[in-house]
Amino acid sequence: MGSTDQSGVQVQWSENESDDFSKNQIRARVEGRFQIDVFQPLGIVKIATTA
């Protein structure tokens, strides 16, 4: 399970980039700050392997 900060997930839409209008395209940019919630710290295992 993960969490976001107070801003949540932000989406911006644009059709004014370069030649998007002439190509009938729309761009979306999604930004967010996420973290992982750990409810059982003893259940986390780190394994180091060699190449």
List Cα–Cα distances, 9 to 34, 47, 50, in angstroms.
Answer: 9, 32, 37
Task: Tell me the pLDDT tens digit for each residue of 10-49.
Answer: 888 887 777 877 888 888 888 888 787 888 888 888 888 8
Structural domain spans, the chain: 2-38
Task: Provide the b/e sequence for 19-44 (b: ≥16 CB within 10 Å).
Answer: eeeeeeeeeeeeeeeeeeeeeeeeee
Task: Tell me the pLDDT tens digit for each residue of 29-39.
Answer: 888 887 878 88
Instruction: With beta carbons less than 8 A apart as the criterion, state whether 29 and 15 touch.
Output: no
Whose tokens are 């060699």? That residue is 50
pTM, entire model:
0.41
